Amino acid sequence: MTDIPKTILIVDDEVSQRRLLGGFLSSCGFGCIEAGSAEEALEKIRQQPFGMVLLDVRLPGMSGLDALVEIRKMATYLPVLLITAHADLRQAVSAVKTGADDYLAKPIDLDELRIVVSDTLGPHDEGQCDGIEIGVDPGEGIVCESSAMRALLKTVVPIARSDASVLVLGESGVGKEVIAGLLHRFSPRSANPLVVANCSTLSESLIESDLFGHKKGAFTGAQEQRQGLFRAAHTGTLFLDEIGEIPLALQSKLLRALESGQVVPVGGDSSVLVDVRIVAATNRDLTEEISQGRFREDLYYRLAVVEISVPPLRERADDIVPLARSFAARLTGGPVRFSPQASSCLVSHRWPGNVRELRNAIHRACLLSRGDVILPEHLPPKVVQGCTGPVPSVPASSTLSEVERATILSALTECNGNRTQAARKLGISRRGLIYKLKSIPEEKGSR
């Protein structure tokens, strides 16, 4: 029996989208060929066999749906995966009934894409499709001990290598700017500027000038020309933090700049070309903002070619103590130990302010401690109050795994053996708790 070819034809008129998908699937061990139109795709299908086609619905000239009809005439059994915007979802569902094998909605979930492609063409090569290669250092101060954070970082490199716009989602304080920095660091633009703009702190009356610049004399107080953040980030990356705060009146101008690659300074009559990769972030639910008329849907899809969701700290319990140690070491200039009781308090706290709250708590603890050991009394009262029930009793010389074991067993005792409640108390999933129960070491002296 002839093996199914594992070459994938990616059909999309946006170069950045093709490169993003191609880069990711190549890291999974699949060969990829690109086409910028339906007509080009049909010609390539006539010339060589493919294992699968990723077909965008909206294409210039012949649409993806019309191309699907022609593909079925030429290659009845060639798997076709439609890529569709939310507005075309109903058409995509209908197309699945009449010829497409499956569809994915934009913004594309790369994990879902990997699963669909692997199900169709067979599993990828062992050890590939990890996104972040073994040996790649995510950077000083970047902690990824938890499975949630490692899964997130495994998608960063293939996304970073493309020029696709990225929307980073997550609660306040989870570290969205850190992810934006990694996207820039691993990109071909890393030697060029990374410019950060917090949209929530920009003056509403001057935000257009801040982004696009202005000519001298354009308005009262404009005593000299200003280039603006877009031009400052030329050939690099512009990180638009808190993009959900940008005024509705300016969103159309921002959309125009993203689509055309040109900005018009305030008071100017000609546009300026800019080469900028956009990474945006928000803690708001932009789909809800769109439904309430506060955010443009077309701008959302322009920004969210890919979405990355950063998990809250309560879902990354394995990162809490390593992060605390990292913050303490940077604040004191040397290694700092946390007592088992202090470690237990850190892990038990829910951290509504996420990594930012943890950093502030460790700053306080380092100021109050005398020496290189952090005790519970050095932590904020609300963190210590979260340690309900008896503090796990473990020797001061215990390893991190032994501290973790004592913390887990203490939580189980407090919850009368209920794993679901214990997992909730520890801030991890029930499946994560079961995994830890299987992997934690036996107590010393037990058999």
The answer to whether the CB of 159 falls within 8 A of the CB of 166 is yes
Q: Give the closest residue to 319 by CA, choosing from 77, 122, 134, 143.
A: 143
Check residue 105 and give its pLDDT.
82
The answer to whether the CB of 307 falls within 8 A of the CB of 165 is no
Tokens matching residue 309 = 């969701």
Check residue 442 and give its pLDDT.
54
pLDDT of 308 > 70? The answer is yes
More confident residue, 390 or 221: 221
Rounded to an integer, the average pLDDT of 315-320 is 89
The answer to whether the CB of 280 falls within 8 A of the CB of 165 is yes
Task: Tally the residues of the chain.
Answer: 447
How far apart are alpha carbons 306 and 299 in whole angstroms? 13
Helices 340-348 and 354-368: crossing angle, nearest 10°?
A: 150
Check residue 130 and give its pLDDT.
47
Read off the pLDDT band of 447 (50, 70, 90): very low
Read off the pLDDT band of 440 (50, 70, 90): low
pLDDT in tens, 68-113: 999 988 888 899 998 887 656 677 777 776 688 888 888 888 878 8
429 φ/ψ sector (left φ>0, alpha ψ -120 to 50, else beta)? beta
More confident residue, 100 or 135: 100
More confident residue, 25 or 421: 25
Rounded to an integer, the average pLDDT of 363-379 is 87
Rounded to an integer, the average pLDDT of 214-227 is 65
> Which residue is listed with tokens 């010339």?
47
Quote the strand ranges of 199-305, DSSP E: 237-241, 262-263, 272-273, 277-282
The answer to whether the CB of 320 falls within 8 A of the CB of 347 is yes
pTM greater than the 0.85 cutoff = no
Least reliable range by pLDDT among 225-239, 265-279, 360-374, 393-407: 393-407
Read off the amino acid at residue 277: R
Rounded to an integer, the average pLDDT of 407-424 is 71
- In the chain, what's the furthest Cα-to-Cα distance? 81
Cα angle, residue 122 at apex, residues 120 and 124 outer, rounded to 5°:
120
Q: Give the closest residue to 286 by CA, choosing from 267, 273, 270, 299.
A: 299
How far apart are alpha carbons 338 and 361 in whole angstroms? 13
How far apart are alpha carbons 89 and 93 in whole angstroms? 6
The answer to whether the CB of 430 falls within 8 A of the CB of 420 is yes
Peptide bond into 188 cis (omega under 30): no
Other C-beta atoms within 10 Å of 263: how many? 24
Q: Give the closest residue to 240 by CA, choosing from 252, 223, 258.
A: 258
Q: Give the closest residue to 149 by CA, choosing from 380, 347, 317.
A: 317
- Please give the DSSP secondary-structure letter assigned to residue 244: G
Q: Which domains does the chain have, with CATH numbers?
A: 7-121 (3.40.50.2300), 147-309 (3.40.50.300), 314-439 (1.10.8.60)
pLDDT in tens, 10-62: 999 988 888 889 888 887 888 899 999 999 999 999 999 999 999 998 899 99
The rounded percent of the chain whose pLDDT value lies above 70 is 80
Q: Give the closest residue to 193 by CA, choosing from 185, 205, 202, 203.
A: 185
Rounded to an integer, the average pLDDT of 332-345 is 85
pLDDT of 219 > 80? The answer is no
Pick from 144-158, 315-329, 421-435 the range whose average pLDDT is largest: 315-329
How does the average pLDDT of the chain come out, rounded?
A: 82
